[in-house]
Structure 1
């Protein structure tokens, strides 16, 4: 006699994403695994006395979304501190910071995260003069959404910049402007790193935000070990509600080796992912490394965060230690350097290039030959178009950014993530499907697979995640409408149910 299901999701439009156009009506789950997918009438026989039966009311059921590149602690800071991504103007950003200043204890830092001056129709970052207008007893810090630019008031400059002449500290005739980039920005972020208890609080807030958007797994780029400890503690206490792959910063390599860790170590909800490193910065900060000058800064071509020779050495050491390597590269010269490093690597190791925003045809083909995974962010299309940030920085080269179709046609596996800009897979899918040019766009099924099976593949998880099939982990999401039927408004579709490892972790109010 067949055992009853623990969970039965019925009256659904189930898209397995395993085979083109394959649909069913119901899914049965037992012990955290999918046991049957099929006709609702037949699966009703698996309902027992203790089975939870969920009527999906005709909603679309998909494999859960896996965000292949995010920073949950940063999202947590936005949610817990001050969310500057909500600001529609410079003045509104300062108002948000002022409200935060009135809420913190006197002398504590006032932290805001996620501002984007381009969304305000401006080109200048927040400066020391701007932030000095915030009435605060402690330092005021505003982090740009790309994490490569940080803005400081005078108190923060004095507290967090021991060497105001260091690289990355922008200056004018009066001294530091309050704008810092790359290494100087990292110095500030390190000084504001939360302790263990605060980190757990941030991650709990972020995971609640994520699961409400159908995210069942993340590949988190963790800067400090507090995040790894917090995730494991949450998992131990039964408080972790999504799967996590820990992509450690490259400066953890020696410690990881000493601990006997390597990619795919671990079990349960937390596993070791890739070793993360950089080549360049960001287009927003004009620090992405380009082969030709910036359109709006003819004397600048960006900078190396890790130069090609150092990248090659790090890549060889990490691969020899058993690590998948994930390399941040945005400008075309940086993407070229990554393709060069990967060329002699293990083509089965699924090394990842993160972002790859500006890549030539020849380099895309080299990435395909190397077996590399392109971990890309379709929501970055928000900056494309004739009048977007990309056009400001690159001129007509904006058409060469984030060419998702070209990557797919070349045979480069795609893994979609958000980089937290914003963390919302349906927003990203919408941007991929409604891209500015054909070379930048994908079909609905392709985009959904990149956010599910593609991200699972990037994490060596395609045998247990990424599709709705018997034997796979029951990580599922239900939507209130069909992305195929509403392809022009996918970002308006709501998540009604999220399931991780067979447990309902989010259910919309009805």
Structure 2
């Protein structure tokens, strides 16, 4: 006699996704595993008095989503601190930050810093970054930081500039008439991150909040990008306690490559719920911050802009990790049997990553990835296919590619229209992984843009 199911879901429109046209009505689950997919009539035979039964009443049921590019700790910060994602203007973002400052002044949490996350100025009528003047309005006594959605740009108030000013690399501190505006990009965020880093207890609070949000949206697995964080320990603690509802692939930042090699970590090692993934690195920045590395200048670049090492021309973006350093990192990680996943958005950056992967013995077998692949150079897609490298893309970024949108302003019409070429990558046989970068973490939002853009 077949054992009864613990859970059955009946009277639904079930899409197993094993075949594009296949549907069913019901699903049975036992001991955390799906044991049968079929008709309501068939599945009802697997229910007994102790089985939990959910009548879907015609609703659609899908397998859990795997988000291949997340920042769960940062998502948790948006949920716990000031969430600026829905702000429609600089004034509204400032108001949300001021509310958070008032909460802290009233003792809501034992924290000094006022933090906000996720604003997107490209959707504002007054399209500009938050700067020192804005954030001084929030507080002139507490340090205040407002991170742009892409996490490559942040605004800070005068308290932060006074406290961290001598540690901020000048090339990534935006100035006006020689004075810092409070707008920081790329490496200038380096000193800010450890100053606001949560301890292990707060990291657990953030990750649990992010996990709850993800599971509400049907996400059951994440590839999490982790740097200088308690998150790997917290994930394993949650796993040991039976409190982890997500399967987590931990992608360690390249800062941790030496430690990973010394401790013998290898890609795919771990438990059923927490596994070592890739070594993650940057190459360039983002289109929104004008730091993605391009061959030709940004359409809206400041002709006098110069930033980066060696006076790199700021009109074409900048290297966050220079090509020579990237090649060395890829070689060392590959020799240690570690997958590499490299952030590359601009055409110049994508070209350099593909060249670094081509120098390894078997990039396809190692499943080396490029994150974002927003503006591949001519011939890049064929080279992707030849190398059998993985394109880890974010279809939700297509929200910025509309005419008169952010990418139209930054790139111009021609480059805007050929950005994020998901169909071309698929048609060329390139292996795709879809993720959100938590901008936002919402799989159906990404599916919408993938299908309709």
Tell me if both proteins adopt one fold, taking TM over 0.5 as the criterion. Answer: yes
Q: Superposed, which structure 2 residues align to 1:60-71 within 5 Å?
A: 60-71=60-71
Q: CA deviation at 1:202?
A: 0.5
Q: CA deviation at 1:162?
A: 2.6
User: How many angstroms apart in 2 are the aligned matches of 1:398 and 1:392?
Assistant: 9
Aligned to 2:162: 158
Aligned to 1:350: 367
User: How many angstroms apart in 1 are the aligned matches of 2:420 and 2:194?
Assistant: 30
Aligned to 1:241: 245
User: How many angstroms apart in 1 are the aligned matches of 2:98 and 2:351?
Assistant: 43
Q: Superposed, which structure 2 residues align to 1:32-431 within 5 Å?
A: 32-105=32-105, 108-164=112-168, 166-297=170-301, 299=303, 300-345=315-360, 346=362, 347-396=364-413, 397-431=415-449
Aligned to 2:308: none
SS at match of 1:95: helix
- Please list the CA deviations of residues 465-500 of structure 1 after superposition, one character each: whole Å capped at 9, or x if unmatched: xxxxxxxxxxxxxxxxxxxxxxxxxxxxxxxxxxxx
| Deviation >4 Å, runs of 4+ | none
Question: 1:15 touches 1:60 (CA, 8 Å); kept in 2?
Answer: yes
User: How many angstroms apart in 2 are the aligned matches of 1:136 and 1:201?
Assistant: 28
User: How many angstroms apart in 1 are the aligned matches of 2:316 and 2:194?
Assistant: 27
TM-score of the pair, normalised by structure 1? 0.83
Q: Superposed, which structure 2 residues align to 1:442-461 within 5 Å?
A: none
TM-score of the pair, normalised by structure 2? 0.93
User: How many angstroms apart in 2 are the aligned matches of 1:165 and 1:338?
Assistant: 25
SS at match of 1:179: strand
- Please list the CA deviations of residues 286-327 of structure 1 after superposition, one character each: whole Å capped at 9, or x if unmatched: 000000000001630001111222111111111111111110
User: How many angstroms apart in 1 are the aligned matches of 2:178 and 2:169?
Assistant: 13
Q: CA deviation at 1:360?
A: 2.9
Q: CA deviation at 1:191?
A: 1.9
User: How many angstroms apart in 2 are the aligned matches of 1:10 and 1:222?
Assistant: 39
Question: 2:436 touches 2:443 (CA, 8 Å); kept in 1?
Answer: yes
What is the alpha-carbon root mean square deviation over aligned residues? 1.4
Q: CA deviation at 1:190?
A: 2.5
Q: CA deviation at 1:121?
A: 2.8
Q: CA deviation at 1:75?
A: 0.8
Question: 1:84 touches 1:114 (CA, 8 Å); kept in 2?
Answer: yes
User: How many angstroms apart in 1 are the aligned matches of 2:338 and 2:187?
Assistant: 25
User: How many angstroms apart in 1 are the aligned matches of 2:90 and 2:392?
Assistant: 32
Q: CA deviation at 1:124?
A: 2.1
User: How many angstroms apart in 2 are the aligned matches of 1:362 and 1:190?
Assistant: 40
- Please list the CA deviations of residues 178-227 of structure 1 after superposition, one character each: whole Å capped at 9, or x if unmatched: 01111111221222111101100011111111111111111110112401
SS at match of 2:350: helix
Q: CA deviation at 1:163?
A: 3.3
SS at match of 1:143: strand
Aligned to 2:312: none
Question: 1:378 touches 1:418 (CA, 8 Å); kept in 2?
Answer: yes
Question: 1:379 touches 1:428 (CA, 8 Å); kept in 2?
Answer: yes
Question: 2:11 touches 2:40 (CA, 8 Å); kept in 1?
Answer: yes
Aligned to 2:310: none
User: How many angstroms apart in 1 are the aligned matches of 2:216 and 2:125?
Assistant: 30
Q: CA deviation at 1:370?
A: 1.0
SS at match of 1:160: helix
User: How many angstroms apart in 2 are the aligned matches of 1:272 and 1:427?
Assistant: 28
User: How many angstroms apart in 1 are the aligned matches of 2:400 and 2:20?
Assistant: 31
User: How many angstroms apart in 2 are the aligned matches of 1:163 and 1:72?
Assistant: 27
Question: 1:148 touches 1:281 (CA, 8 Å); kept in 2?
Answer: yes
User: How many angstroms apart in 1 are the aligned matches of 2:358 and 2:386?
Assistant: 8
Question: 2:140 touches 2:157 (CA, 8 Å); kept in 1?
Answer: no
Question: 1:66 touches 1:216 (CA, 8 Å); kept in 2?
Answer: yes
SS at match of 2:327: helix
User: How many angstroms apart in 2 are the aligned matches of 1:119 and 1:159?
Assistant: 31
Question: 2:348 touches 2:377 (CA, 8 Å); kept in 1?
Answer: no
SS at match of 2:301: coil
